[in-house]
Amino acid sequence: MNYSITEHRLKQIIDNFITDQVGVLKKHDHNNPVVDYYWWTDKYGNGVFEVSGDYESLGVYEKLWMSVRELFGLSPMETDDSFLRWSYHHMGMEFEGGIYTFERD
């Protein structure tokens, strides 16, 4: 069977996928009040997003970023756009510097 999915519907599906993967986010502040660094953990307590105090760029856990890219066959730019759109709608944050990925220890 062939299915046609509109661009708008695909964006909704990707948004729902990211939401399902992370669940309810919990924000954490660095222990040192001088350090402007924040991170968010997912429903399992794993770090999935991070940002420094300038809020210029959003860090996304690399395996989460790759799962979105590979599952939906997106280019790197489309994947970044998906996370930027998601962060705006679910975190109320915009990141002009774009997306970078990080690995957890």
- Whether residue 39 is contained in a domain is answered as yes
Q: How confident is the model over 42-83, as pLDDT tens digits?
A: 999 999 999 987 889 999 999 999 999 999 999 999 999 999
Output DSSP code: residue 100.
E
- Whether residue 2 is contained in a domain is answered as no
Question: Do 65 and 17 touch, CB atoms closer than 8 A?
Answer: no
- Whether residue 1 is contained in a domain is answered as no
pTM of the model: 0.89
How many separate domains does the chain show? 1
β-bridge partners, 50: 39, 59
Q: How confident is the model over 13-33, as pLDDT tens digits?
A: 999 999 999 999 999 988 887
The residue segments making up the domain with residue 33 are 7-102
- Whether residue 35 is contained in a domain is answered as yes
- Whether residue 92 is contained in a domain is answered as yes
